[in-house]
Amino acid sequence: MRLGLLTACFAGSSLDEVAEWAAGNGYASLEVAAWPAGGDHPHHAAHLDAAAFTQAEAERVRALLDRLGLTVSAVVYCANNLHADAEERDSVHRHLRHCVDTAAALGVPYVSTFVGRDVTRSVAENLRLAERVLPPLVDYAGERGVRLLAENCPMEGSHPDGYPGNLAYSPELWEWMSDLGLLLDFDPSHLPWIGIDAEDALEFALERGIVAHAQAKDVEIDTRLRTRYGVFGRTVGRTSPVDAGWWSYRVPGRGMLDWNRIVDMLHKARYNGTLAVEHEDPVWGGTAEHTEQGLRIAARTLRPLVSPESPDPGWR
């Protein structure tokens, strides 16, 4: 198993800068963000220009990674593949195919995305829509030696009322989407706040062989505030769909998840891929210095578990 990081938290840095920092701070792999250039979302970075990726750039990136001893575990473009607007949905699919081509050029096995949701339709209608539009994307990737993954983020921010906007949030849906050919990019942090036991869910997914990649993000839950607002979150004074008021994401080591147990379960299942830290911690975020310190905290928490035989690289 390799310890990696999702590069999206370094939206203002180049891939070269991110790679240099990661290699010097205890990380061995990158899950590389490849959203379209020009976006303004704080967690959408374009560290690979998938729409204009050339063979020359592929060779340059491979040389960079080889020099630093890094690998790329996945190319990431998490967007709404079931968007209600047909033109926007086509645009998402077009960029997803660019990401597949980029992954193939780099020899990267996975592209991670979302299933998504058309918020104007019922869940049942969305399942039928997905069964129509997702298999051609799975086939496109497969023809190029790449597998599509879906992350289990509920994406409540994509729904006007904060309900799940990504139909990949539960083990029931993981089984359904695996039948469509999508494997799982497992992130345990999304599970406790929707009432799912992260360890039981991981065991379910490992037993079915659908975990192709894993992310490491923690979660902090204030049960007293949950009692005040309910599981759907605050209503009066809500500032955005993600402003639930009683939970927040944290870096590993600062939340409630048992990383000793989670990583041990991956080891027992002979998972030999990457565990990539996804940094969305509001405490250790907001500035480059805070973000880097958050990633150092995550590395100190996880590296002894992921690669206990590896020497301490000296980060403090």
Whether residue 316 lies inside any domain: the answer is no
Tell me which amino acid residue 65 is: L
- Per the structure, the count of domains in the chain is 1
- C-alpha 95/C-alpha 93 separation (Å) is 5
Residue 36: domain span = 2-306
pLDDT of 309: 53
DSSP SS3 for 268 = helix
Question: Is the entire prediction scored with pTM above 0.75?
Answer: yes
- C-alpha 103/C-alpha 298 separation (Å) is 26
Q: Is the dihedral of CA 98, 101, 106, 110 positive or negative?
A: positive
Alpha helices per DSSP H over the chain: 15-23, 55-68, 86-106, 123-142, 171-179, 198-207, 223-229, 259-268, 288-306
pLDDT of 311: 42
Whether residue 247 lies inside any domain: the answer is yes
Whether residue 311 lies inside any domain: the answer is no
The residue count of the chain comes to 316
Whether residue 149 lies inside any domain: the answer is yes
Conformational region of residue 132, where left means phi above 0, alpha means psi within -120 to 50, and beta covers everything else: alpha
Whether residue 313 lies inside any domain: the answer is no
In the chain, which stretches have pLDDT less than 50? 311-316
- C-alpha 91/C-alpha 115 separation (Å) is 15
Question: What CA–CA distances, in Å, run from 235 to 120, 156, 161, 193, 229?
Answer: 21, 14, 9, 17, 8
Both tokens assigned to 138: 């799975």
Whether residue 314 lies inside any domain: the answer is no
Whether residue 228 lies inside any domain: the answer is yes
Can you give the CATH number for the domain in which 182 is found? 3.20.20.150
Whether residue 166 lies inside any domain: the answer is yes
Instruction: Give 242-267 pLDDT, tens digit per residue.
Output: 788 999 999 999 999 999 999 999 99
